[in-house]
Amino acid sequence: MKSRAVLTGTHFLSGDLACAEGAIAAGCRFFGGYPITPATEISERMSRRLVEVGGVYIQMEDEIGSLAAVIGASYTGKKAMTATSGPGFSLMQENIGLAVMTEAPLVIVNIMRGGPSTGQPTMPSQQDVMQAKWGSHGDYEIIALAPSSVQEMFDLTIDCFNLAESYRVPVMLLADEIIGHMSERVKIPPPEEITIIDRKKPKVPPNEYRPFKPDDDLVPPMGCFGEGYRFHATGLTHDEKGAPKTVSVEEQTKLVRRLCDKIRKNTHKIVRVQEVMLEDAEVAVLAYGIASRAALSAVRKARKEGIKAGLLRLITIWPFPTELVAKMADHVTAIVVPEMNYGQLVREVERAAKTTPVSLLSKLGEEPHRPSEIITAMRRALQ
């Protein structure tokens, strides 16, 4: 009997729908959201599918409430997510800080559209990339993945949940309107072939449980509401017991650093990239998401035209793989960064590449990069 949760088989789906199916396959059973172009289809699919699998869909009154409800659901042990676009993502920033501070595992999908402000709701962009990392106040780290195909919308959503559970951190899926709305073939494997990671549970009895006491990997095991742990969690700076510590220098230092180091020190385990023809490349294209599709095509074409081109496709954009990019920069003459924004991730590349020249190929608005444009940029970079 086919499980209703995992729709094993080959489908022709849009990116948004594939993302929703990925979430259900990963075990997501709570969605709190608010409709926004171009992510509405995720909400719509979840509103139907979650009822089928016995989960909860609630359309909150705004994105702020949506993320708050998702954090609440996460604290009961459920895998929870929300989906939005730029304007909603901006509204969620304060609660992203709360999720980071209370180490609530959850997934936020941002189908990026033209900004700033209301912008171009039905047009693609990669303009929220920096906001994903720096949008909320305070020092913190999150994880963000960038899918470049509908299949990856399915696969990476599952990875987002696994990373969220492993590191007790909000994980963002940064797609764009094109990938969200286009339809491609998606292969959904049988459930036994899908790796699911769950949050670490406490190994001590309730009276010894310290909700924010980390293990060696800097991640605390998570007891949930209703399991007898009777713990307190707060957005205020707190100690290992969860008690507010709003005056202590030591507690602030300890907590902020651990929340950041949790990701920074595990970057090598978290980062995923795809390298194409980089071994002998003279010019490297560093791309992610929608731009990487044209970049791949451009690199292959360029090789045929005699340019020693290579592609570094970032699947993980936060934490940024600084070391990896620095190493690559040592071996190439120039790096070209095509982005559908006016220069965001390129700054991280410049920082990592140090003396290797980095050039931005910026595109704003409906049309993604053409391979020919990227090849022209590569030629220019090599001069």
Partner 1 sequence: MNQGDRMTQHPLAKYLRSERMPHIWCEGCGNGVLLSSFLTALDELKVDLDKIVVVSGIGCIGRAAGYVNVDSFHTTHGRAIAFATGVKLANPDLQVVVISGDGDLFAIGGNHFIHAARRNIDIKVICANNFNYGMTGGQYGPTTPLEAWTTTTPYGNIEHPFNLVHLAAASGAVYVARWTTLHVRRLKDSIKKSLQKEGFSFIEVISPCPTIFDRYNKRGTAVEVMKWFRLISNVKHGYDPARTEITNNQIIVGEFVDVERPSYGRLLREMTKRVQEKLKEEKAK
Residues that bind partner 1 (CB under 8 A): 1, 4, 29-30, 32, 51-52, 54, 56, 58, 60-62, 64-66, 68-78, 80, 94-95, 97-98, 102, 225-236, 243-244
The torsion region of residue 247 among left (phi > 0), alpha (psi -120 to 50) and beta comes to alpha
| 3-class state of residue 292 by DSSP | helix
Residue 119's identity, in one-letter code, is: G
Between 33 and 338, name the residue whose CB sits nearer to partner 1.
33
Q: How far is the CB of 193 from partner 1 (least distance, A)?
A: 23
Q: How far is the CB of 43 from partner 1 (least distance, A)?
A: 16
Q: How far is the CB of 178 from partner 1 (least distance, A)?
A: 31
Let me know: does 113 contact 121? Beta carbons within 8 Å.
yes
Between 74 and 125, name the residue whose CB sits nearer to partner 1.
74
With CA atoms as reference, report the closest residue to 336 among 296, 278, 285: 285
Between 7 and 326, name the residue whose CB sits nearer to partner 1.
7
Q: How far is the CB of 61 from partner 1 (least distance, A)?
A: 4
Tell me the C-alpha distance between 122 and 130, whole Å.
21
Between 233 and 287, name the residue whose CB sits nearer to partner 1.
233
With CA atoms as reference, report the closest residue to 151 among 201, 116, 176, 186: 186
Between 71 and 349, name the residue whose CB sits nearer to partner 1.
71
With CA atoms as reference, report the closest residue to 321 among 286, 363, 285: 286
SS3 of 61-114: the string is: CCHHHHHHHHHHHHCCCCEEEEEECHHHHHHCHHHHHHHHHCCCCEEEEEEEEE
What is the β-pairing status of strands 9-14 and 183-188? antiparallel
Q: How far is the CB of 272 from partner 1 (least distance, A)?
A: 30
Between 53 and 197, name the residue whose CB sits nearer to partner 1.
53
Q: How far is the CB of 51 from partner 1 (least distance, A)?
A: 5
Between 62 and 330, name the residue whose CB sits nearer to partner 1.
62
Token pair, residue 10, equals 């080959």
Q: How far is the CB of 117 from partner 1 (least distance, A)?
A: 21
